[in-house]
Amino acid sequence: MDILDLTAVELGERIRKRELSAPEALEAVYGAFRARGRNLNAYAAFEIDPARTAAEHAQALLDRGEASSVLAGVPVGIKDNINVRNCLTTCASKILRDYRAPFDASAVRKLREAGVVPAGTLNMDEFAMGSTSETSCYGPVRNPWNTGHVPGGSSGGAAAAVAARECVCALGSDTGGSVRQPSAYCGVTGFKPSYGRVSRYGLVAYGSSLDQIGPLARDVRDCAALLDIIAGPDSMDATSVPFPDSGFLDALSGDIHGLRVGVPEECFGDGVEEDVRLCVEAFLDELKRAGAVLVPLRLPFIRYAVPVYYILATAEASSNLSRFDGVKYGLRAAHYNTMEELYTRSRSEGFGKEVQKRILLGTFVLSSGYYDAYYNKALKMKQMIVDGLAEAFGRCDVIALPVSPTTAPALGSSLSDPLKMYLSDIFTVPANLAGLPGLSVPCGFDRAGLPVGAQLLGAVGADSTVLNVGHAYQLATDWHKRRPRDSEEVSEHA
Amino acid sequence: MRYEAVIGLETHVELATQSKIFCSCGGHSTKGEPNTRVCPACAGMPGMLPVTNRRVVELAMRAGILLHCDISRYTTFDKKSYYYPDLPCAYQITQWFHPVCRNGSVEVTTKDGTRTIGIKQIHMEEDAGKLVHDDWTETTLVDFNRTSVPLIEIVSRPDFRTADEVMAYLEKLKTMFRFANISECEEGAMRCDVNISIRPEGTEELGVRTEIKNMSSLSSIRRAIQYETARHLDAVERGTETLVQETRRWDDVKGRTFSMRNKETAADYRYFPDPNLMPILIGEDWIQRVRDTMPASVEEKTAEYQSKGLSEKEIASLTSERALCDLFDAVTALGREPKDAASWILTECGGLLRKHGQVMGELQIAPGKLSRIMEKVSGNEINRAAGRKVLEAVLYEDADPDAYCEAHNLGAQGDADAVRQVVLKVLDSTPNAVRDYLGGKKKAFQALFGGCMKELKGNGDPQVIRALLEEELSKRS
């Protein structure tokens, strides 16, 4: 059996049993990247030297018996917007094309301390802005199930790599669905923790009040094992929350007897592709069979989630991205005569179209005279959504819904209709607005053979509950074990 | 018609904290080579996050308490966006929606009497870096040392009518803030924006307002106010120009203000709450703790020192610097007499500082060492002149008083026998002077006394020498 078919937890076990070493596991991943990497374009960069150093360090920890994590020695791909010390951290943007991070993100630091090996940076939508991973300065990522389709985004490189066995598991970031939606499109498991569960220190900010680092992996157990490492309060992030619970992997009992699963009417109606609806309904049936109780819900406010999200996220982005000005690091325009020109040319040359669009939108909604009409109103609506969801969790333990109304669209079809692309975020953005934990699990395929994802949301802090429901489902089904044929073969049929 | 000026002030004060407002870099803006007090956070590297320094909040609360403000129970940090190379994130973290203090007042006294100036609010914010223009290479360099150094901005109500009042206000804030360890208020650590308009005396409606930005010296502020008031008067009375609401700069060399930008081209700062910093909730207990740990005010110290019998002059000198009060308090706490302590600090230490071209504010001495010197002098171990010598060594060579005395053979003069030997030697070696004295020439005593002092290398206690001389001379009469 190819070791890249193992889950992260299985691989970790073999490393612990000395059936293979951390450097050997890394070389296997690196080999897969070299063999198939350019085909899917899943990686932004794979700097092997620092990864080898990390693997040796991990092996040394293992040899000294100082590696407590079940994932010690396992290579983990890192989305290109999470700082990895001395490595390229470019957010798939021309403006940061040669930027090397001067420090580790807290999540990466914790991985290292646990003996996990940061291995390669994964392609994404530029600055995590997009749902297709087509806006990268490195070119679009392709879906391993059908290379004529997008992998979703913005953590599309991570989802594609995990699905295609080019990496074992990965850290992504989720601002409006950027972990869950590509996981669904690529048939892998992705988890967005409660806001504040994982430190954002070292994650290059898109929408600071919404961003959260989360794992993408083969199954819920791998996600829980990664979360065990990266979760926890951090003095470097003032918004990190000291949630009382931990031990997510150990908490996976698979028992969901009597658990109440809310089913929002709005998420199974118009606009949801039939194949998606059927797969997610089958998902609900499976939960029922496992002992859960389905509770019909109405979440009428959900239709405001997308406009509210795009106002708040772009407003924050316009501010977060203002530091890329050509003065201190990153791209600086070659020719300029004035300070003003240095700024405008560097930013115009450095940022792609989608990023520019969102910066302009965000700048507009914060401008004097429009602040109350847009930003302030969006804040109020956000509170309404927060309250509405909190109220819903009085009647159920988790909410089940599709991750996306569709499966992965064809390459190039989304950017030409951006409004449609934005609206397809409808089922993922509520979790970000309300800071909820959200899990995406594979639950079938559409008639074209593209994966469908089901989503589980929990109340703030109920990460463990959400993961356990997903785990129960994966004990009963094997959708998460399906793998795409080798991408070379797929491309022939595409 | 008689006009009056209506003046409001925005005063930025650099806080005396160990570290910056949102990271752990050293907080002092004027120290260090360029870009040595900078980290990924205050340099605005991608992925960095701000974390609030609680000390900054406490010092802002302290200022609010001194200026009789309401302390907000809920206060937030907001982003103010504008592009400038010295602002690494292209936004400044400040307080726009919910400042930490509101609605205060302060009394200012000028030769025309005492008036109350309203304080609209105090808010916290980070400072920007500095641009350094290098004419030689025609380049502009950025120094981020000052970036994120904590400031409070005190926004007054437009209650000033004269430059004198503004001066008195700024002097008062300076003294108050230094005294309460809020700010060292060094050169450049206090900067002002001045808002000015004029109106006919007795009317309420405000005239066209101009704002003069970023002045740090008191004399510039005074001159700018005088210039700008005159400019407004000329415009209104003589129609020399049409006033527009605008921001101006003071040119200290030319002695005039010039326009920077007007309302039409005014920047849109796009203020919004910083999602990286949670709102700060200030409870009654925290306010009380800040009150309880607040250093005594000038007024309180004055009353305390009066009760200890110090003179008005001594009190005024000591309370000019918090550090002097602290030293005085420490020395008296070690058991030294208050009057004596004041005299040693102000006269002796002050004299030595002057001799070395320093000012009182630069005095740095361990209270224990000063106390030890005073103890040696009052206990007649050494005389005051020797004490002064020890003090100088302590101040400028970091000497230990006891070790210094021993090493320089000071202190023997307290031993009457040793001094008597010297006296006898002098009397024996100058029989003429002895004869003169005994013959009635009292002046000869001075020569004998001087001889003894010389023999003792200036370290003798004059009273002891005099007494022994008289005793021994009487034996020879």
Q: B171-224, pLDDT tens digit by residue? A: 999 989 988 999 988 877 899 999 999 999 989 998 999 999 999 999 999 999
Q: Is residue A157 a contact partner of residue A151, using CB atoms and an 8 Å limit?
A: yes
- Residue A456: strand pairing partners: A400, A439
State how far residue B50 is from chain A, nearest Cα, in angstroms: 7
pLDDT of residue A489: 45
- Identify the DSSP state of A208: T
Please judge whether A319 and B270 are an interchain contact, meaning their C-beta atoms are less than 8 angstroms apart: yes
- Residue B155: strand pairing partners: B10, B121
Q: Give the number of other Cβ atoms within 10 Å of residue A405's Cβ.
A: 19
Looking at the structure, tell me whether residues B180 and B200 fall in a common domain: yes
Looking at the structure, tell me whether residues B263 and B144 fall in a common domain: yes
Look up residue B266 and give its amino acid.
Answer: A
Weakly modelled stretches of chain A, pLDDT under 50: 487-494
Global ipTM: 0.94
Looking at the structure, tell me whether residues B350 and B265 fall in a common domain: no
Q: Does residue B386 belong to any structural domain of this protein?
A: yes
Please judge whether A322 and B83 are an interchain contact, meaning their C-beta atoms are less than 8 angstroms apart: yes
pLDDT of residue A123: 98
Q: Does residue B289 belong to any structural domain of this protein?
A: no
Looking at the structure, tell me whether residues B324 and B394 fall in a common domain: yes
- Exposed/middle/buried for residue B268 (C-beta within 10 Å: 0-12, 13-18, 19+): middle
Cβ neighbours of B275 in A, within 8 Å:
207-209, 239, 316
Q: Does residue B173 belong to any structural domain of this protein?
A: yes
Domain count, chain A: 1
Please judge whether B272 and A319 are an interchain contact, meaning their C-beta atoms are less than 8 angstroms apart: yes
From B387, B410, B433, the end of a domain falls on B410
What token pair was written down for B135? Answer: 């004419």
41-60 of B, contacting A, C-beta below 8 A = 43-52
Residues A299, A266: Cα–Cα separation, whole Å = 7
Q: How distant, in Å, are the alpha carbons of A43, B66, B427, B432 from that of B474?
A: 107, 66, 12, 16
Compute the CA torsion angle A321, A323, A329, A335 (nearest 10 deg). 90
**Looking at A136, A154, A183, A414, which residue is catalytic?**
A154
Residues A321, A317: Cα–Cα separation, whole Å = 6
Q: Does residue B148 belong to any structural domain of this protein?
A: yes
Nearest CA in chain A to B52: A238
Closest residue by Cα to residue B10 from B207, B208, B157: B157
Cβ neighbours of A202 in B, within 8 Å:
47-48
Q: Does residue B291 belong to any structural domain of this protein?
A: no
Tokens 């320093």 sit on residue: B358
pLDDT of residue B144: 94
State how far residue A368 is from chain B, nearest Cα, in angstroms: 6
- Judge whether A348 counts as a catalytic residue: no
Q: Does residue A367 belong to any structural domain of this protein?
A: no
B255 at the A interface (CB within 8 A)? no
What token pair was written down for B421? Answer: 């030997």
Structural domain including B233 reads 3-284
Of B50, B268, B278, the CB nearest to A368: B268
Residues B333, A197: Cα–Cα separation, whole Å = 51
Closest residue by Cα to residue A442 from A253, A201, A220: A220
State how far residue A201 is from chain B, nearest Cα, in angstroms: 6
Complete DSSP assignment for A212-256: -EEEEESSHHHHHHHHHHHBS--TT-TT----S---TTTT-----
Of A203, A207, A235, the CB nearest to B47: A203
pLDDT of residue A167: 95
Mutate to test the interface with B, among A82, A108, A327 (most CBs of B within 10 A): A327
Look up residue A198 and give its amino acid.
Answer: V
Of A81, A323, A366, the CB nearest to B89: A323
pLDDT tens digits along B343-387 = 999 999 999 999 999 988 889 999 999 999 998 888 878 888 889
Weakly modelled stretches of chain B, pLDDT under 50: none
- Identify the DSSP state of B201: T
Backbone CA torsion sign across A426, A432, A437, A439: positive
Residues A130, A153: Cα–Cα separation, whole Å = 6
Of A81, A237, A328, the CB nearest to B49: A237
pLDDT of residue B466: 86
pLDDT tens digits along B420-432 = 888 888 998 888 8
Q: List the Cα angle A260/A262/A265 in 5-degree steps.
A: 155
- Identify the DSSP state of A456: E
Looking at the structure, tell me whether residues B452 and B384 fall in a common domain: no
Cβ neighbours of B79 in A, within 8 Å:
319
- Exposed/middle/buried for residue B295 (C-beta within 10 Å: 0-12, 13-18, 19+): middle
Domain count, chain B: 3
Please judge whether A339 and B85 are an interchain contact, meaning their C-beta atoms are less than 8 angstroms apart: yes
Q: How distant, in Å, are the alpha carbons of A113, A343, B82, B271, B336 from that of B267?
A: 47, 16, 8, 11, 60
Cβ neighbours of A201 in B, within 8 Å:
47-49
What token pair was written down for B2? Answer: 């008689």
Q: Does residue A346 belong to any structural domain of this protein?
A: no
Given 3-state DSSP classes, what are the helix, strand and coil percentages for chain A, each rounded to the nearest 5? Answer: 45, 15, 45
B90 at the A interface (CB within 8 A)? yes
- Exposed/middle/buried for residue A364 (C-beta within 10 Å: 0-12, 13-18, 19+): middle
State how far residue B89 is from chain A, nearest Cα, in angstroms: 4
CATH code of A138's domain: 3.90.1300.10
- Judge whether A79 counts as a catalytic residue: yes
What token pair was written down for B370? Answer: 């000063």
Please judge whether A204 and B46 are an interchain contact, meaning their C-beta atoms are less than 8 angstroms apart: yes
Please judge whether A238 and B51 are an interchain contact, meaning their C-beta atoms are less than 8 angstroms apart: yes
- Judge whether A178 counts as a catalytic residue: yes
What token pair was written down for B289? Answer: 């703790």
**Looking at A131, A178, A318, A346, which residue is catalytic?**
A178
Q: Is residue A29 a contact partner of residue A119, using CB atoms and an 8 Å limit?
A: yes
Of B47, B83, B90, the CB nearest to A202: B47
Looking at the structure, tell me whether residues B214 and B331 fall in a common domain: no
Residues B437, B446: Cα–Cα separation, whole Å = 10
Looking at the structure, tell me whether residues B149 and B52 fall in a common domain: yes
Nearest CA in chain B to A371: B270
From B410, B429, B464, the end of a domain falls on B410
CB neighbours of A374 closer than 8 A, spacing ≥ 6? A311, A315, A364, A365
Structural domain including A57 reads 3-261+395-493
Q: Does residue B126 belong to any structural domain of this protein?
A: yes
B40 at the A interface (CB within 8 A)? yes
| Peptide bond between residue A154 and the one before it cis (omega within 30 degrees of 0) | yes
The overall longest dimension of chain B from CA atoms, in Å, is 100
Q: Give the number of other Cβ atoms within 10 Å of residue B335's Cβ.
A: 9
pLDDT of residue B325: 92
Q: Does residue A138 belong to any structural domain of this protein?
A: yes
Q: Which residues of A touch B (CB under 8 A)?
A: 81-83, 89, 91, 96, 99, 101-103, 105, 200-205, 207-209, 235-239, 315-316, 318-319, 322-325, 327-329, 339, 343, 363, 366-368, 371, 375
Residues A266, B165: Cα–Cα separation, whole Å = 66
Please judge whether A200 and B49 are an interchain contact, meaning their C-beta atoms are less than 8 angstroms apart: yes
Looking at the structure, tell me whether residues B224 and B131 fall in a common domain: yes
Per DSSP, chain A holds a count of helices (H) and strands (E) of 16, 11
Of B52, B88, B272, the CB nearest to A375: B272
What token pair was written down for A491? Answer: 């491309």
Of B85, B270, B277, the CB nearest to A327: B85
For chain B, the C-alpha Rg in angstroms (whole number) is: 30
pLDDT of residue A261: 98
- Residue B123: strand pairing partners: B153
Residues A109, A86: Cα–Cα separation, whole Å = 13
Cβ neighbours of B48 in A, within 8 Å:
201-202
From B284, B304, B322, the end of a domain falls on B284
Answer yes or no: pTM beyond 0.90.
no
Looking at the structure, tell me whether residues B38 and B153 fall in a common domain: yes
- Identify the DSSP state of A300: G
Residues A225, B463: Cα–Cα separation, whole Å = 86
Q: Does residue A315 belong to any structural domain of this protein?
A: no
Q: Does residue A424 belong to any structural domain of this protein?
A: yes
Q: List the Cα angle A450/A454/A456 in 5-degree steps.
A: 160
